[in-house]
Structure 1
């Protein structure tokens, strides 16, 4: 790797580090707000753990898609699903931020990351469809596991990401278990 290419890659990695401080709406099991980097890490772990259940897919491609799916949030942050308004194009904002974030990379690597993100957004491959479903499931899993505020809306999760989590029988199987946990958490939060 040439000096310029290495320098650009390190600059990119320094900027991407911001995901460690980009907070999401979920809470960890200790009650601390979850970061986007933490969400992405567990999403990748889910992809690794469950990859054999998805049949003939490329597990490395699945993990790459999971790694880049929220990368654009390093610049403008995350907007929780419950706060997204009609007419706001979260995807366009994240794409623009991703273009800025990757500008220091070698053009070939930059093009690869942008193409992976586009594939994820469009759900244009079996791996991207699975990544989108796992993304929703990881969020629900964290909401069920987290030490959430007293007014946390568990009912929202019962409809959240239904299309994406129905895209594969194994995703639907995980979803059924998480929906049951969600109902239990909702009941427990009432008392």
Structure 2
């Protein structure tokens, strides 16, 4: 049980590890754990739109997809040109001695290969989480996010992910709130 508890302490570090790509956007910040939560919400939604997907498998894959960053940190695309993180080594050390370590390694291998439906949906959810942040910042008047949105959309692979990205592009970030505000002016029955 000691090794499992150590693993849990280590994964909780993801709440304090910030994603580094936001420094190029100006505003915005997010921890790896916050990102994982958003990815899981999007993945669950994509699974509802893709009935043939195994929802539990997809969500578990999304849960673990950035766990090695507890040891490596989050490297953005610029940093990856100069720093070679050894994700496999970090993952092996992270999962060493865990009775479910093989499960985590297999899920990450599947995610990285991107061949199964669940891996493609997980990877799309990962990109869509970023796209939602970009759209929100753009709607608030920041120019830099618009430069990146097209590149993010090019990475999408599933019909549901592509359709969702198109809808994100047409929807203002606060439309749900505005509708609630406007609707509150009418009497609820």
TM-score normalised per structure 2: 0.77
Query: Aligned pair 1:23/2:18, yes or no?
Result: yes
Q: Identify unmatched segments of 5+ residues in structure 2.
A: 173-189
2:163 matched to which residue of 1?
A: 173
Alpha-carbon shift at residue 181 of structure 1 (Å): 6.1
Q: How many residues align?
A: 167
Greater Rg over alpha carbons, structure: 2
Match of 1:157 among 141, 149, 155: 149
The C-alpha deviation readout for 1:69-120, integer Å capped at 9, x for no partner, is 11111111111235432x8655xx22221111122412xx001100000000
Alignment map for 1:94-113 (pairs within 5 Å): 94-106=87-99, 109-113=100-104
Mapping for residues 70-109 of structure 1, pairs under 5 Å: 70-85=66-81, 93-106=86-99, 109=100
Cross-structure match for 2:38: 42
The change in CA–CA distance for 1:54 and 1:81 in structure 2 (over 3 A counts) is farther
The answer to whether residue 108 in structure 2 is matched with residue 117 in structure 1 is yes
Does residue 13 (structure 1) correspond to residue 8 (structure 2)? The answer is yes
Normalized against structure 1, the TM-score is what? 0.76
**Which residue does 1:136 correspond to in 2?**
127
Unaligned 5+ runs, structure 1: 1-5, 183-191
Q: CA deviation at 1:160?
A: 2.2
Q: Distance in 1 between matches of 2:143 and 2:104?
A: 38
User: What do you get for the CA RMSD once the two structures are aligned?
Assistant: 2.6
Q: What secondary structure sits across from 1:79 in the alignment?
A: coil
Q: C-alpha distance in 2, partners of 1:53/1:118? A: 24
> 1:12, 1:104 within 8 Å by CA — same for their partners in 2?
no
Give me the whole-angstrom Cα distance separating, in 2, the residues matched to 1:146 and 1:101.
34
- Structure number with higher relative contact order (C-alpha < 8 Å, ≥ 6 residues apart): 1
1:63 maps to 2:59: yes
Task: Report the alpha carbon displacement of residue 153 of structure 1 after superposing the two structures with TM.
Answer: 4.4
The answer as to whether partners of 2:153 and 2:165 remain within 8 angstroms in 1 is no
Q: Check conservation: 2:42, 2:128, Cα contact below 8 A.
A: no
